[in-house]
């Protein structure tokens, strides 16, 4: 497309350049004839001026139809290429999903069990593994929670809870409600650009689980410190 546009630009520049030189010469001739009393010379100059003016008008109205058609063909070809590329990306995504499903079927492991083993320590309370902590930071989720700690703690307090298990469930509900908002925009962008992490397929459910566990552990630590201070 750029080549076609460049060709049109070169043609027009050449035409206007030629006209500019022609008009410049005519002006010089006209200036010389102004001091003469020869009406015949003046008439000839006026005739030439009139002819140049007509040429200039024709050039101004020139549409370069042949070049426009070429440019439109290039634009159409690019559009078709973009559509085919999008289709190819979709096919690759489906193939990757199929590979993941086959792997999990062969190994006899569910995706959730694989995630739990890699990212979660199933103690009481539930905690993140080193890999889970690393992913939390890399996604930008740790920063998002730490920067808005007071807000999230207030959200937890507004819910009724009586055990650590309740807090874990409440945190998951809160994170799920907030996930599509501005707070976790960086997390969503990260998952979009990095759909696979260390051989495992990432999605919003994985992110929500990891973030909610971090928030839960953070709030439980806060409660523990508050009780120690109250007893001191």
Same domain, 149 and 74: no
What are the backbone angles phi and psi of residue 127, rounded to the nearest 5°? Answer: -130, 170
pLDDT band at 126 (very low <50, low <70, confident <90, very high): confident
Which residue from 113, 128, 112, 152 is spatially nearest to 217, judged by alpha carbons? 128
Same domain, 117 and 225: yes
Q: Any idea which of 51-60, 96-105, 139-148, 214-223 has the lowest mean pLDDT?
A: 96-105
Same domain, 86 and 161: no
What is the per-residue pLDDT across 162-198, written as a single tens digit (0 to 9) for each? Answer: 877 789 899 999 999 999 999 999 999 999 999 988 8
Same domain, 145 and 86: no
What is the per-residue pLDDT across 26-80, written as a single tens digit (0 to 9) for each? Answer: 566 555 545 444 455 556 556 656 665 665 565 555 555 556 676 677 777 777 7
Same domain, 115 and 182: yes
Which residue from 119, 146, 116 is spatially nearest to 219, judged by alpha carbons? 146
Same domain, 187 and 128: yes
Q: Is 81 exposed, middle or buried, given 0-12, 13-18 or 19+ CB atoms closer than 10 A?
A: exposed
- Cα–Cα distance for residue pair 114/74, rounded to 1 Å: 49
- Cα–Cα distance for residue pair 22/27, rounded to 1 Å: 9
Same domain, 154 and 191: yes
* Beta-bridge mates of residue 128: 120
Same domain, 168 and 156: yes
Give the residue numbers spanning the domain of 129: 111-231
What is the per-residue pLDDT across 73-119, written as a single tens digit (0 to 9) for each? Answer: 777 777 776 666 666 666 665 665 555 555 444 444 445 565 667 88
Q: What domain count does the chain have?
A: 3
Same domain, 119 and 189: yes
Same domain, 33 and 57: yes
């Amino acid at each position: 497309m750029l080549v076609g546009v460049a060709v049109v630009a070169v043609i027009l520049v050449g035409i206007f350049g030629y006209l500019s030189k022609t008009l410049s010469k005519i002006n010089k001739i006209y200036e010389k004839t102004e001091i003469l009393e020869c009406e015949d010379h003046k008439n000839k100059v006026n005739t030439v001026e009139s002819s140049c003016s007509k040429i200039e008008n024709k050039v101004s109205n020139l549409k370069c139809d042949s070049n426009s058609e070429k440019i439109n063909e290039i634009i159409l070809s690019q559009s078709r290429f973009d559509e085919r590329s999008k289709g190819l990306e979709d096919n690759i995504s489906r193939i990757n999903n199929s590979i993941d499903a086959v792997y999990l079927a062969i190994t006899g492991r569910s995706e959730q069990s694989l995630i739990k083993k890699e990212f979660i320590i199933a103690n009481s309370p539930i905690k993140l593994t080193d890999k889970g902590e690393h992913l939390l930071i890399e996604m930008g989720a740790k920063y998002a929670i730490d920067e808005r700690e007071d807000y999230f703690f207030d959200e937890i307090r507004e819910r009724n809870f009586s055990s650590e298990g309740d807090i874990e469930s409440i945190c998951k509900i809160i994170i799920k409600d907030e996930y599509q908002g501005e707070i976790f925009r960086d997390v969503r962008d990260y998952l979009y650009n990095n759909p696979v992490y260390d051989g495992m397929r990432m999605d919003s459910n994985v992110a929500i689980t990891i973030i909610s566990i971090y928030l839960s552990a953070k709030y439980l630590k806060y409660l523990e410190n508050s009780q120690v201070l109250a007893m001191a």
